[in-house]
Amino acid sequence: MQRFAYANPATLKEASGLLGNSWDDAQILAGGTDLLSLMKEGLTAPKLLVNIKNIKELTAIAPEKGGLRIGAAVTLDELAENALVRRQFPALVQAALGITSPQIRNMGTMGGDLCQRPRCWYFRQGHGLLAMRDGKSLIPAGENQYHAILGNSGPAYFVSASSFGPALVALDASMRVVSPSGTRDVPAAQFFVTPKDEASRETVLQPNEILTAIHIPAAAAHSATYEIRQREAIDWPLAAASVVLKSGAPVIVLGHVAPIPWPAPEAGKFLAGKPLNEETATEAAKLALQGAAPLSQNGYKVQLARVSVKRALLAAAKGA
Amino acid sequence: MPDYSWPAMEKRKVMGTRVARVDGGQKASGRAKYASDWHRKDLLFAALLSSPHAHARLVSMDLSGAKNMKGVAAVRAIAKPGDEIQWQGAEIAAVAAETEEIARDAVRQIKVEWEVLPHVVSEKDLAAAGTRVKAAGEQVTGDPDQAFKDADATVEGFYGIPVITHCCLEPHGQVVEWPGESINYWPSTQNVSGLATDLGTALKFPPDKIKVHQDHVGGGFGSKFAADRWGVDCANLSKEAGGKPVHYFLERNVELMIAGNRPSAFAKIKVAAKKDGTITAWQSESWSTGGIGGGGSPPLPYVFENIPNQRKKHSAVSINTGGVRAWRAPNHPQASFLTCSALEDLAAKLNMDPTDLFLKNVDLTARAETYKVQIAKAKELIEWQKHWHPRSQLTAGPVKRGLGMSIMTWGGGGHTSECRTSIFPDGSVVVDIGTQDLGTGTRTILNMVVAETLGLPLSAIKVNIGDNALPKSGPSGGSTTVGGVTSSSRKASVNALAKLFDVAAPALGTTADQLEAVDQHIQVKGNPAKNLTWQAACSKLGVNRISETGFNDQRKPEGLNSSGVGGIQMADVSVDTETGKVRMNRFVAVQDVGLVVNPKLAESQVHGACIMGICAALFEERVMDKQTGHVLNPDMEFYKLAGIGDIGEIIAHMDIRPENDKRGVIGLGEPPAVGVVAAIANATANAIGVRVPEVPLTPRRVLEALGGRNA
Ligand SMILES: Cc1cc2nc3c(=O)[nH]c(=O)nc-3n(C[C@H](O)[C@H](O)[C@H](O)COP(=O)(O)OP(=O)(O)OC[C@H]3O[C@@H](n4cnc5c(N)ncnc54)[C@H](O)[C@@H]3O)c2cc1C
């Protein structure tokens, strides 16, 4: 790990002022569960770490106009244990509990989860975010069993790592982002982006921007996240789906199948006005994966994603 | 000659009881000191530069950047220009510095120029491995061609089990201090008594001037017998740094790349049988790799070795990965998986219960009587009658349940071992033996044997192990430790007690041969009222102590230990056919290991082995990238091991019976690890109605085996 300086600001303004224009200058430190491993592996090497866990306003969960506001530094455990969240947002609680190690839930934060880097093993083993070699990605001809089956026309083939991403997109959340030049609100669906080159990142955030809070407009007791993991022990989902049932068409967003959370509007449309049962859910699941284009080793993920959609729909129908 | 034989089963007071391991508290509380916990004054930390290439020639190396860094105490080139490096992670250079961070920074300053050479890192596709394949000659017994022609039924299958690594929780490494005259060496090893010779030979330094000490080891599984390259480099770094102690342990990624692995095994197998299940012929074409050296053949057909007609061919594939090391019953888990899979498929084809097929052919094995009893017991414990169904009749719903079985055998025996038992005038007893406790409970077992022999409570005895100043005991491999150390400690203690009897006899007005040690007393046989307390007897030693040795000769066990065991394992799994996820419900291991010194520890050993097998059946696999030659999962995130929630219920049944007991002590380190993958793979086939040909049984493989069914 390269040597770095450490700052521990108490206000957002102070923190914001410490960030620079490049990821090499400074990076935000929340729980550190992802950032420190990246630094240890030499995959990132900021000169300064800016701890945000001591900024009070980032650490609260509060009701807001029928919806919810979650501070970016709220830990995954705090979220999962919050009574209001448990009552109104099962999709979030299920996503949090899927992150199986209590240690990670205790340390990891909402902001950190949304901004964590991909777990693609080519990236983590030092082959770069897009795993390019001689102008070509290693992934299509490589070990791609955990890679994307949607949105994978290249050059990015990894899957978005965040388990909350799909749920927040489905919940129509927006992200409040603060920088020295002001504040902006980014809809969750636009927060995640597919990088086109090695230097880009997987969210719209710039190096000098801080995600301060997540705003969810309305309660969603009939929502669910269903993830398929191989292990009960710490493991990454092979596929996941978050679902929010609304008066019109249900909102369905797939996780861990594409470089970004992947909405499946056709599947939702199909269900509009129909009863939700095993049969309709199965049909919707098929539609959700219609566009899937698996790589050489990950055809099985299409099946897993379908099952996730079906099971998330049926769980959401049951309610919190 | 004194009578060393074990007390009769019903007379044992300590042996055979469920004593908790004596160092359990230390381990659970974190007080147990492992090699990497030796933080000596002026300790330096070493870091390794390892090869980024799977196959390359080192053209040049410039160490000056590292040497010139402040805080760096020693830098050593391990590879030199012209060397051909054969795997990623191979040792290239090492640095010792005042902190770990400086050492790592310094490693990054080393400049190496490489000539990259073509690599092969995959062996599964034999045809694609080209010149890397070395075929051994075909072995033929009987007339397999005729037997296949005459058969009522034949099955053909392909089965594969990949390379897995040892993945010791405590990585390989050591602390070494080499001030000049002597060397202090704190390794993580399975071989306390033999390690000084290994290191000394490599360093051209007298082994008797090398002090080896180890209290605990965090997993070895067959991978920690030698001083290794890193031990030698660690010593040299210390010397170069003026004798300061150096702490040098492999990083997790390099640990998984170079510190040992278990060879893969792939095979096309054909088996023939009569209608009634009698197996008549076996044919196998197998291949495997253990790295650049290729891979030896697993013993096929496993256990059913007397199948009358056989044709076998094995090829070793040499690939550019780190080399094999012994892994808990070398080649047996692979052989068990390949054989039992083929036999289960045969049973399915004959529409037979596989337990009936195994029993029908049990005379083709070397221990038919053992297996018969064990199959019955295992069936009872797994509730076979209730849950087993033919492969053609699956359980209802998307989650399918199935049962499967496997069979195993192993040697054991007792390694060469010397032990010294000392009795002091104050009544205290010290046992000295240069063995090691791999977590198997060796300390506890020694304590129990000596307590049994001397008629004392466990707490009256101090057991010293883990130091090469103690009497020499063999390396812990081949499941030979418990046989060796129980024999040597029994003999040493019987010998010491005889000396105490000599001293006590006059006071009791009798002769030594009339005495016995019972419940902290030395008493006259048949007249227990005539006695001395242990303390009183020992006080008669005056200022002298008794110090007697006992020796186990591996070739002459004298009835105290022996070798050769059998076991039956059965798995009960549920498979979600929509997700391909295999869940363990229950696992049963019925295991014979002769005389069981401590059933609790024995069961604990079986549990550990089953957990390791469950990991291999469901999760473990070293994933290689063909394009870069790199290991893609040299971490504990994607090199997956089971967590407690993945294990299910484990029932360890020790096959304790007088006929097993009378054979003496037999090792248990390896046997229960053999059949786990096979039983789980068979249970999965039984659950879903099709064979998943390769393990680990990932959702991907299970869904692919289920084919278009869910698509
Ligand atoms: C073994 C393992 C298994 C896991 N399984 C899952 C899983 O199944 N699903 C899942 O979703 N996650 C999983 N995680 C990831 C885990 O949830 C994240 O590591 C954690 O949430 C990150 O939070 P943190 O606060 O520790 O982030 P940090 O490590 O502190 O930061 C991560 C990144 O986010 C940036 N960042 C943090 N906060 C902000 C902010 N407020 N504004 C802008 N940038 C910010 C940091 O600069 C850094 O780049 C797993 C992690 C591990 C190690």
**Domain boundaries along the sequence of chain B:** 35-118+172-249, 324-334+343-412+562-710, 414-552
For ligand 1, pick from A18, A24, A34 the residue to mutate: most ligand atoms within 8 Å of CB. A34
Characterize the bridge pairing of strands B461-464 and B429-432. Answer: parallel
- Amino acid sitting at position B264: S
Q: Considering only CB atoms, which chain A residues are within 8 Å of B616? A: none
Residues B214-222, mean pLDDT to the nearest whole number: 96
Nearest to A233 among B627, B638, B646 (CB): B646
* pTM for the structure as a whole: 0.97
- Amino acid sitting at position A37: S
CA distance B45 to B42: 10
Instruction: Give the chain B residue nearest A289 (alpha carbons).
Output: B711
Torsion of CA B512, B516, B521, B526, to 10 degrees: -100
What's the N-to-C CA distance of chain A in angstroms?
44
Q: Considering only CB atoms, which chain A residues are within 8 Å of B635? A: 124
CA distance A115 to A127: 20
Q: Is A205 in the pocket of ligand 1 (CB under 6 A)?
A: yes
Nearest to A141 among B627, B633, B700 (CB): B627
Q: In the predicted model, what is the mean pLDDT of chain B?
A: 97
| Residue A124 contacts B where some CB pair is shorter than 8 Å | yes
Residues B48-73, mean pLDDT to the nearest whole number: 98
Q: What is the pLDDT of residues B278-297, one digit of tens each?
A: 999 999 999 999 999 988 89
Give the containing element (helix H, strand E) for B340.
helix B332-349
For ligand 1, atom 50, name the residue with the nearest CA: A99
Same fold: B35-118+172-249 with B414-552: no
Is residue A201 scored above 90 in pLDDT? yes
B704: distance to nearest CA of chain A, Å? 7
Dihedral sign, CA of B5, B11, B17, B21?
A: negative
In the prediction, which pLDDT does B451 show?
Answer: 98
Nearest to B625 among A143, A236, A238 (CB): A143
Domain with residue A112: its CATH number is 3.30.465.10
Structural domain for A124, as ranges: 5-319
Q: Please answer whether residues A202 and A192 qualify as being in contact, where contact means their C-beta atoms are separated by less than 8 angstroms.
A: yes
Instruction: Give the chain A residue nearest B107 (alpha carbons).
Output: A1
CA distance B396 to B393: 9
| Three-state SS at A192 | strand
B interface test, pick of A307, A308, A309, A311 with most B CB neighbours within 10 Å: A307
In the prediction, which pLDDT does B711 show?
Answer: 36
Give the ipTM. Answer: 0.97
**C-alpha count within 13 angstroms, C-beta hemisphere, residue B686:** 32
Q: Please answer whether residues B399 and B406 qualify as being in contact, where contact means their C-beta atoms are separated by less than 8 angstroms.
A: no
Cβ-in-10-Å burial (0-12, 13-18, 19+) of B472 comes to middle
Listed by number, the residues of chain B in 76-135 with a beta carbon closer than 8 Å to a beta carbon of chain A are: 101, 104-105, 108
Q: Is B637 in the pocket of ligand 1 (CB under 6 A)?
A: yes
- Residue A279 in tokens: 């049969």
- Residue A122 in tokens: 């080519």
Q: Is A236 in the pocket of ligand 1 (CB under 6 A)?
A: yes
A13: distance to nearest CA of chain B, Å? 33
Q: What is the pLDDT of residues B399-449, one digit of tens each?
A: 999 999 999 999 999 999 999 999 999 999 999 999 999 999 999 999 999
In the prediction, which pLDDT does B675 show?
Answer: 98
| Three-state SS at B492 | helix
Instruction: Give the chain A residue nearest B701 (alpha carbons).
Output: A300
Is residue A319 scored above 80 in pLDDT? no
| Residue A4 contacts B where some CB pair is shorter than 8 Å | no
CATH number of B35-118+172-249: 3.90.1170.50
Residue A223: strand pairing partners: A244
CA distance B42 to B178: 13
Contact A125 B642 (CB under 8 A): no
Q: Please answer whether residues B591 and B606 qualify as being in contact, where contact means their C-beta atoms are separated by less than 8 angstroms.
A: yes
In the prediction, which pLDDT does B709 show?
Answer: 42
Instruction: Give the chain B residue nearest A120 (alpha carbons).
Output: B632
Identify which has the larger pLDDT, A318 or B400. B400
In the prediction, which pLDDT does B480 show?
Answer: 96
For ligand 1, atom 12, name the residue with the nearest CA: A162
- Residue B32 in tokens: 């147990």
CA distance B580 to B571: 17
Q: Is A234 in the pocket of ligand 1 (CB under 6 A)?
A: yes
What residues contact B556, with CB distance under 8 A and at least 6 apart? none
DSSP string, B123-144: -SSGGGGGGGEEEPPPEEES-H
In the prediction, which pLDDT does B371 show?
Answer: 98
Q: Distance from CA of residue B564 to its chain's centroid?
A: 16
| Residue A119 contacts B where some CB pair is shorter than 8 Å | yes
Name the DSSP letter for residue B157: E
| Closest C-alpha to A166, from A91, A115, A267, A56 | A91
Residues B184-210, mean pLDDT to the nearest whole number: 98
CATH number of B414-552: 3.30.365.10
- Residue A166 in tokens: 């799909």
Residue B584: strand pairing partners: B573
Q: What phi and psi values does residue B345 have, to the nearest 5 degrees?
A: -65, -35
Q: What is the pLDDT of residues B327-355, one digit of tens each?
A: 999 999 999 999 999 999 999 999 999 99
Contact B625 A138 (CB under 8 A): yes
From the CA of A39, how far away is ligand 1's center (Å)?
13
CA distance A315 to A226: 8
| Closest C-alpha to B197, from B189, B188, B208 | B208
Q: Is A31 in the pocket of ligand 1 (CB under 6 A)?
A: yes
Nearest to B625 among A142, A232, A299 (CB): A142
Q: Is A163 in the pocket of ligand 1 (CB under 6 A)?
A: yes
Contact A119 B637 (CB under 8 A): yes
Q: How confident is the model at residue A4 (pLDDT cuts 50, 70, 90)?
A: very high
B349 conformational bin, left if phi > 0, alpha if psi -120 to 50, beta if neither: alpha
What residues contact B615, with CB distance under 8 A and at least 6 apart? B640, B641, B642
Q: Please answer whether residues B557 and B594 qualify as being in contact, where contact means their C-beta atoms are separated by less than 8 angstroms.
A: no
- Amino acid sitting at position B502: D
Give the containing element (helix H, strand E) for B56.
strand B56-62
Q: How many domains in chain A?
A: 1
CA distance B221 to B420: 27
Q: Is the peptide bond before A118 cis (omega within 30 degrees of 0)?
A: no
Q: How far is CA B498 from CA A20, B505, B516, in A?
A: 81, 10, 9
Q: How confident is the model at residue A314 (pLDDT cuts 50, 70, 90)?
A: very high
Q: What phi and psi values does residue B476 have, to the nearest 5 degrees?
A: -85, 90
In the prediction, which pLDDT does B209 show?
Answer: 98
| Residue A36 contacts B where some CB pair is shorter than 8 Å | no
Q: What phi and psi values does residue A191 have, to the nearest 5 degrees?
A: -70, -40
Q: What is the pLDDT of residues A241-288, one digit of tens each?
A: 999 999 889 999 999 999 999 999 999 999 999 999 999 999 999 999
Q: Please answer whether residues B701 and B158 qualify as being in contact, where contact means their C-beta atoms are separated by less than 8 angstroms.
A: no
Q: What is the pLDDT of residues A144-180, one digit of tens each?
A: 999 999 999 989 999 999 999 999 999 999 999 999 9
Topology of the domain comprising B324-334+343-412+562-710: Aldehyde Oxidoreductase; domain 4 (3.30.365)
Instruction: Give the chain A residue nearest B704 (alpha carbons).
Output: A300
Q: Considering only CB atoms, which chain B residues are within 8 Å of A234? A: 637, 643
Residues B256-284, mean pLDDT to the nearest whole number: 98
Q: How confident is the model at residue A320 (pLDDT cuts 50, 70, 90)?
A: low
From the CA of A231, how far away is ligand 1's center (Å)?
20
Contact B635 A143 (CB under 8 A): no
Residues B565-583, mean pLDDT to the nearest whole number: 98
In the prediction, which pLDDT does B710 show?
Answer: 37
B223: distance to nearest CA of chain A, Å? 25
In the prediction, which pLDDT does B228 show?
Answer: 98
| Closest C-alpha to B213, from B464, B422, B429, B31 | B464
- Residue B420 in tokens: 């010294």
